[in-house]
Structure 1
């Protein structure tokens, strides 16, 4: 058995079928991520003319020609369903006479590697926007082992993916249990004003006890993250200190994708955040658990509420007065703890699932390398 080199243009062809007859609707529109996943589109396509959108059948590929830093938005339709993508993306498939040379799943392993992203970005051109064109893709070289070796390594990848997907389905069942519990409380218990349970914090870093390593930003996923700001020369004395179990949020909600940036410090060390953020704490943890409140903040209902109750012209803000005026179901502390335990189990399993997904992606270059080495040994 030998390895054979091909230009990708010898194996691939564009797919240009459009949704001209409107066979598919808004619910069929998909997007892609730089982690090579197909996802429901984030764009509002309700009133969009879908006739020009590209039709993507099973075993076909898509990519966004506009590069995103060091990665390419890319996806492979591994499902049995057909979907749509925006006409300004590119869709392609394996040529009919090349199907005996390369498996689409094996080709996806090739694309799902950081090595391929680096080469694709290197081959991209442009000034304000760099573009990785179809022609640049066709010029790339691929070294292929025989089909039976390809299948062997595809089977390994598929087995790992199947295990991860089964784990993820169990994860969603756990989340539904937690959401159902909260929904039951929401219907049965009287809602209490949050302002009676929380208060502002205003501890500044005036003595510079905490340095730049303690500075954090806040994501719309309700997490503290390493700051993306350039902190060189920035005075840290005005920065707010966020102690463990305290909360901080960004009042500005416009251009945030319908979400509010808010987080609880779940670590064992203080953080620093910008003085423009609002920092607050629970007054009495025997009445309200910070972890329970944190869970309520993570629900999509709270995102919608905070966005609806934001006010302003050039930018809309969810002020402290509005935060205090929220009404939540607050059961006794034992029930709060039960819900927190379920939610904690969900978050633990969620973290494990993300690690599994990362491991599956990380194994792609190993599988490609293994298949090539095996073909060389048998040559």
Structure 2
């Protein structure tokens, strides 16, 4: 029979091994994302008893039973490394006797589809928190082609992953080059206050030259984004105008993930943003490149500096005086351009890498569908 339907519970079993001998430590703790990736845990584990954490060996699966809107936090250990996860998550693996029926990698493709997330969230229950239980997972059904066909489509997926990861390694090499360049400048050159090179921009949208489509917010990823605010009946006259090559930032830094929301308008378009934002420009582009400033304020070091130098009680803010007091190394314009070129190449490749990841996510349902159709056509033949 080319295709066989199974309850998932007949294929998998819980992982119950815990870290009671404390063989694994904080550096071995992992979490998972709604994009189905394993990541270092974001929880503060200082002083946490790790003896109850679950041990997840290669080919093990993990998921967070508490749903996140329309997605399930989920991960698959496709590495050669064992890690641990918090006891309030669920870990499982393919039963030894069922490995001749289903490949763990193929099962992961099944879980990585949006269709599975929708079904899992539909099967979740709760009031303030909806939970996708182990029993609900086991009660789901899966249609399986023969192992040889599973392997064929897993090989396609793994080849795509290998290409993306190779591209990502090159991306990190670029970032290291850029960071090393900046660090050498920080050590070798005197630092100058930004107040000598920047000025406030106070133009407003008084004539309503710019409309709703031009409104932008700013993310902690240092990007202008489409506004999330409800703009119904909002007057756009007081909105601040941000011309190309100008900067804007949100002064409030508290409750912001330890980051400051600031962005460089490196597009050819003019934006408008809330009048509460601070907008500024570089005075002399033959002395200081806006792209060089954008690169410096995009670093983690600037986030830490801005947070440390924010002041307030209920809300901490990094005001204009704080921005003017920032000191940076200013090399010759040619050197600035070299660094900007590396930084721009990094950002372009980073964008491409994110698109590759998105394409890999999108290919999972296609691969599952292709494997099932191939199995059906084999049966008919």
Shorter-chain TM-score: what band? over 0.9
- After TM superposition, the structure 1 = structure 2 runs for residues 175-186 of structure 1, keeping only pairs within 5 Å, are 175-186=175-186
Give the distance between the partners of 1:63 and 1:175, measured in 2 at CA: 32
Partner of 1:2: 2
- After TM superposition, the structure 1 = structure 2 runs for residues 24-63 of structure 1, keeping only pairs within 5 Å, are 24-63=24-63
Partner of 2:262: 262
Partner of 2:343: 343
Partner of 1:283: 283
Partner of 1:73: 73
SS of equivalent to 1:31: strand
Give the distance between the partners of 2:115 and 2:240, measured in 1 at CA: 41
SS of equivalent to 1:348: helix
Partner of 1:241: 241
Query: Could you report, residue by residue, the CA deviation over 1:308-333 in whole angstroms, capped at 9, with x for unpaired residues?
Result: 11112222111111111010001111
- After TM superposition, the structure 1 = structure 2 runs for residues 96-245 of structure 1, keeping only pairs within 5 Å, are 96-245=96-245
Give the distance between the partners of 1:290 and 1:365, measured in 2 at CA: 43
SS of equivalent to 2:225: strand
Partner of 2:366: 366
Moved more, 143-152 or 271-280: 271-280
Q: TM-score, normalised by structure 1?
A: 0.97
Q: 1:139 offset after TM fit, Å?
A: 1.3
Q: 1:358 offset after TM fit, Å?
A: 1.2
Quick one: structure 1 residues 330 and 227, their matched pair in 2 at CA, closer, same or farther if it must change by over 3 Å? Answer: same
SS of equivalent to 1:281: strand
Q: 1:217 offset after TM fit, Å?
A: 1.3
- Length, aligned pairs only: 379
Give the distance between the partners of 2:31 and 2:225, measured in 1 at CA: 26
Give the distance between the partners of 1:20 and 1:177, measured in 2 at CA: 42
Partner of 1:82: 82
Partner of 2:318: 318
SS of equivalent to 1:51: helix
Give the distance between the partners of 1:240 and 1:17, measured in 2 at CA: 57
Q: 1:180 offset after TM fit, Å?
A: 0.7
Give the distance between the partners of 1:156 and 1:50, measured in 2 at CA: 38
Give the distance between the partners of 2:272 and 2:74, measured in 1 at CA: 37
Q: 1:247 offset after TM fit, Å?
A: 0.7
Q: 1:57 offset after TM fit, Å?
A: 1.1
Partner of 2:21: 21
SS of equivalent to 2:254: coil
Partner of 1:273: 273
Partner of 2:377: 377
Give the distance between the partners of 1:123 and 1:61, measured in 2 at CA: 19
Unaligned runs of 5+ in 2: none
Give the distance between the partners of 2:203 and 2:129, measured in 1 at CA: 43
Give the distance between the partners of 2:204 and 2:280, measured in 1 at CA: 13
